[in-house]
Structure 1
Amino acid sequence: MASLKSLLPRRFRKEGVAIPVVRLHGAIMAGGSQFRQNLNLAAVAPLLNRAFADKHAPAVAISVNSPGGSPVQSRLIFARIRDLAKEKNKRVLMFVEDVAASGGYMIAIAGDEIFVDPSSIVGSIGVVSAGFGFQDLIEKIGVERRVHTAGRNKAVLDPFRPERQEDVDHLLRLQGDIHAIFIDMVKERRGAKLVDDDELFTGLFWTGAKGRDLGLVDGFGDMRTVLKERYGENVELKLVARKRSLLRRPTPGVFAGGLNGAEIASGAVDGLAGYAEERLLWARYGL
């Protein structure tokens, strides 16, 4: 049975302000599966919509812990946060945990204020691409590579043939375009707070303490402490989490969740590959 207090209109209650909290944690990648949930717009949009829909909340608090990943998904998440903040007239407070680097920092600058721990890692305002070259390996093991294309540049950066300088130059131009977009976003959002430093946009990353000196973040503090200081000791943190769907009942020849053996095996392989990719992103920052 609901208490009499809960039946009163909110303006007559003496309870504290409730602030919706969204956690954006993990590597930023498109797609995902039942075996691995990536951080991307499709995954976080429902959470953001629910958080900003709270008519009584003066702000939305977002916890970020990401080593980066897809620049497109990072920018889409950034844009959705800013659109909702403007539409719902909410202040956005960002709280960085271990790391908000590269695409993670791109998401963080969607906040009106960014708070970090002095030991957090922030920055890495740059673009990186990585791969392998296997042309010597396949020659040693006696494998002949056969590629047929319509369009002379269709097999650009094929890892099984020697690297062409024109391919590298094209990739660097693409990276330069994306880097310029990232830099413009940081300048627009951080403005006069940024310190004039030659290393700022080189892809380097720093501790939260140095990040504050550079103007990349605003201050130190964990979410609960900062929100109490802003909205009083009785402030309530309302975590907006993903809704769990019940697993479908298993049928003959099908495992719980509606997946057969082949699908589970495929999902497991995809999960391992995704895990390896994500670990490389985290390892870049010593995590």
Structure 2
Amino acid sequence: MNEQPNWDRSVIEKLAMSALTEQRRARQWRIFFRLIWLLLTLTLLWAIFFRDNEKVDALSSREHTALINLDGVIDSQSDIANKLIDGLEAAYKDNGTKGVIIRANSPGGSPVLSGLAYDEIRRLRKLHPTIPVYVVVEDVCASGCYYIASAADKIFVDKASIIGSIGVLQDGFGFTGAMAKLGVERRLLTAGQNKAMGDPFSPVNPKQQEIVKTLLNDIHQQFITAVKQGRGNRLKADPDMFSGRIWIGEQGVPLGLADGLGNVRSVARDIIKADKLVDVTPEDDITRRVARRFGVSLGEGFRSLFETRLF
């Protein structure tokens, strides 16, 4: 008769100890995950507030060539134009910078951002006349990229690099034929006769086409003027110079589109006379990435139905 209460007590004690053990394990796991989150938070804070500062501090007081990468399509999503400007400002702030090389690998992009970078390069060159800015083209520097490059003191290319493409385009599609075959009727209301200009679901309007051509011609003329200002009398007379044609580097040098053959290391070593390279291309921290992505998302939502590009 006395064994039953002892048996119940033993079971209850075991259950209590088991529950206590589980609670301890759960508490340990909670502490572990909180430490992981704390570590991640501290890492993000370091990336946001200290990474760029450490990169600037890493610049050597010894004479060196500052290197900035101009890589990819020039648009608001890549933020290449602003990175280029930030990199130039960082290079000029360092007392050890003897010259700047912009390493170009871009097919072009936005005429607005290309013009912004062009203007800033020329402005900063005037402020720092003793520090030359050279563009070194690797694979391609066409259209909007060449717009930017023409602001530099000199342009160096590989004999097989692609350069030029001094022109402007606006492309799109027309779906009126497909809509007719599918029996789809377009219902569009506007306030302003040119508000739907470039709408791919509406028939071509000759008057609106002329408006677009005028815009493209005006932007093209801005491009031509910038190249002439940047390159000066180095440009040779050629009927195809501003036709949108591309050339390889070996052809571009005699035309004045480039100043000579060279690569990043040879220009730093033989032209700037400072073979130590310091990359000052700005890197995105988490806040800039999120902010830009959010901004680009909003911009995409309001983007018009046609887009003007320099490539």
Q: TM-score range by the shorter chain?
A: 0.7 to 0.9
- Find the partner of 1:101 among 142, 146, 155: 142
5 Å-filtered alignment, 1:224-239, equals: 224-232=265-273, 235-239=275-279
C-alpha distance in 2, partners of 1:204/1:49?
A: 33
Gaps of 5+ in 2: 1-59, 301-306
**Deviation beyond 4 Å, 4+ runs, structure 1:** none
Indicate the residue corresponding to 2:234 in structure 1: 193
| Aligned pairs for 1:104-115 within 5 A | 104-115=145-156
Task: Provide the C-alpha distance between the structure 2 equivalents of 1:109 and 1:246, rounded to a whole number of angstroms.
Answer: 33
CA displacement, residues 222-247 of structure 1 (integer Å, 9 cap, x when unaligned): 11012111344x62100013335369
Partners in 1 of 2:167 and 2:286 — Cα distance?
41
Q: What's the counterpart of residue 169 of structure 1?
A: 210
More deviation in 49-58 or 218-227?
49-58
- Equivalent of 2:120, from 37, 55, 80? 80
Alpha-carbon offset, residue 258 of structure 1: 8.5
CA contact (8 A) 1:97 1:120 kept: yes
In structure 1, distance between residues paired with 2:172 and 2:189 = 22
Choose 1 or 2 for highest CA Rg.
Answer: 2
With over 3 angstroms needed to count, the CA separation of the structure-2 counterparts of 1:142 and 1:65, relative to structure 1, is: same
Match for residue 130 of structure 1 among 171, 177, 202: 171
SS in 2 for 1:144: coil
Deviation at 1:216, TM superposition (A): 0.5
The CA distance in 1 between the partners of 2:239 and 2:286, in whole Å, is: 53
Aligned twin of 1:241 = 281
- Which residue of 1 is the match for residue 246 of structure 2? 205
| Paired residue secondary structure (1:28) | coil
RMSD of aligned C-alpha atoms? 2.8
Instruction: Give the superposition deviation at 1:144.
Output: 2.1
Alignment of 1:18-33 (within 5 A): 18-30=64-76, 32=77
Contact 2:65 2:272 in 1 (8 A): no
**Cα distance in 2, alignment partners of residues 98 and 197 from structure 1:** 24
Name the SS for the 1:213 alignment partner.
Answer: helix
**SS at structure 1 position matched to 2:120:** helix
Structure-1 separation of matches of 2:218 and 2:193: 23
Write 1 or 2 for the structure with the bigger share of helix. Answer: 2
State the TM-score, normalized to the length of structure 1: 0.76
CA contact (8 A) 2:176 2:202 kept: yes
Counterpart Cα distance in 2 of 1:52 and 1:135: 54
Higher relative contact order, chain-length normalized (CA < 8 Å, sep 6+) = 2
